[in-house]
Structure 1
């Protein structure tokens, strides 16, 4: 069983141990406490955090991991327990030894969910989306026909216009997509590490120079939510990555999604997906928790955050 993933995202917090609880304080005032036995991971994602050695030892004894994030919100280091039986070691062994048929089946589910979610975004934008359900059903184990790429060729012109081409090295709308994906990638990376999985051992991505192959696999079904946010920015006349667009795209992990468990922030849905993936490695059963993996995409809820006004570039 994977315990709670606790993220410390506010600056200046102090974490300590008291009678079997992790206590979170600020300026000497207690803000809350969590039973140690409930914790699967602590994600330190803020500046000026301090910890007691007793707390770190107590977390290690219970097999909990402590993830230290850098200023860009991507995990920079993590504290892994090394003594006794630890859940993450078991998960990593299962991950390393995943049978090829299971890995292909899981990748099929990720691609299907992504394509269905692309269709849901287009539908929310008033664009034709019926072909995307057909394409999703065509995806076979491992996606040998690369239906993912076929869907992309239809998707981008419908979302951003017939002249648009997705180019990771370009600026403009592409640059905003890149920034939004970077925010999403850090969210998925924290969830993957918090679930006790190794981020380099991917299902599909296997680039030797990429330390986050599994992260890039798992984030695929969530990319369309970034696309939707960028489309709103483009509607408002934004054409580049600016402080205003950065602040707007940084809200994507907080986007509410209408999940079967009720309205849930995207960051929590990502954590559930990482948890389900860890369980799939251990059990050998291809069961995930993703938008669109059960044959029905999650219609994106309206983005209620106000789109920032475009600041004209000085002549």
Structure 2
């Protein structure tokens, strides 16, 4: 299983050569071994990818994500036969006990809030309100501390006028 995410942002030709991804640009040619690659994000519509490379990426369980003109993900390659492990993982997770799911959710929310506090501390921002809310966290975030903290975190990080509502262009 690879660890690298390859992010393509400029005009390039992507092809295959002896278990390597070839990335050819106007100025450069790079070869990256498949065993190092976890995911390829193609964030430009000006790239070309060969069919043979696509089939080899699928066979090697390397995820490929395509982005639209505004660089938002719009499609992903999934092979027909190599998702057996992923499907098994999903089935296993569905069958977990409610208690296990709640413990995991609590862990995820706590970790998220701890990261928010650490980021604020790095920026020398006041974390006292958020730490107070965090200390009253209940299992499964039954009192919804995540939302309460988010309502304080984002204005503290950006400004008092900050809103998380997306306004279409």
| Interval containing the TM-score (normalised by the shorter chain) | 0.7 to 0.9
- Quote the offset at 1:97 in angstroms: 4.4
The structure with the larger Rg is 2
| TM-score (structure 1 length as normaliser) | 0.45
Aligned 8 A contact 1:116 1:132 in 2:
no
Query: How much is the aligned-residue C-alpha RMSD, in angstroms?
Result: 3.2
- Quote the offset at 1:103 in angstroms: 3.0
| TM-score (structure 2 length as normaliser) | 0.75
- Runs of 5+ consecutive residues of structure 2 not aligned to the other structure: none
Question: In 1, distance between residues paired with 2:19 and 2:111?
Answer: 40
Aligned 8 A contact 1:111 1:136 in 2:
no
Question: Deviations 1:131-188 (Å, cap 9, x if unpaired)?
Answer: 4334323322210011223334554665577xx465444xxxxxxxx58xxxxxxxxx
- Quote the offset at 1:60 in angstroms: 1.1
Aligned 8 A contact 2:9 2:42 in 1:
no
Which residue in 2 is equivalent to 1:47? Answer: 45
- Larger relative contact order (CA 8 Å, sep ≥ 6): 1
Aligned 8 A contact 2:155 2:162 in 1:
no
Alignment of 1:133-282 (within 5 A): 133-152=131-150, 154-155=152-153, 164=160, 167-169=163-165
- Runs of 5+ consecutive residues of structure 1 not aligned to the other structure: 170-177, 180-240, 242-315
Runs of 4+ in 1 over 6 A off after TM superposition: none
Question: Deviations 1:92-151 (Å, cap 9, x if unpaired)?
Answer: 444554543333223223322333344345445554323433432332221001122333
Equivalent residue pairs, number? 168
Question: In 2, distance between residues paired with 1:16 and 1:113?
Answer: 39
Provide closer, same or farther for how the CA distance between residues 86 and 64 of structure 1 changes in structure 2, counting only shifts above 3 A: farther
Question: In 2, distance between residues paired with 1:104 and 1:166?
Answer: 31
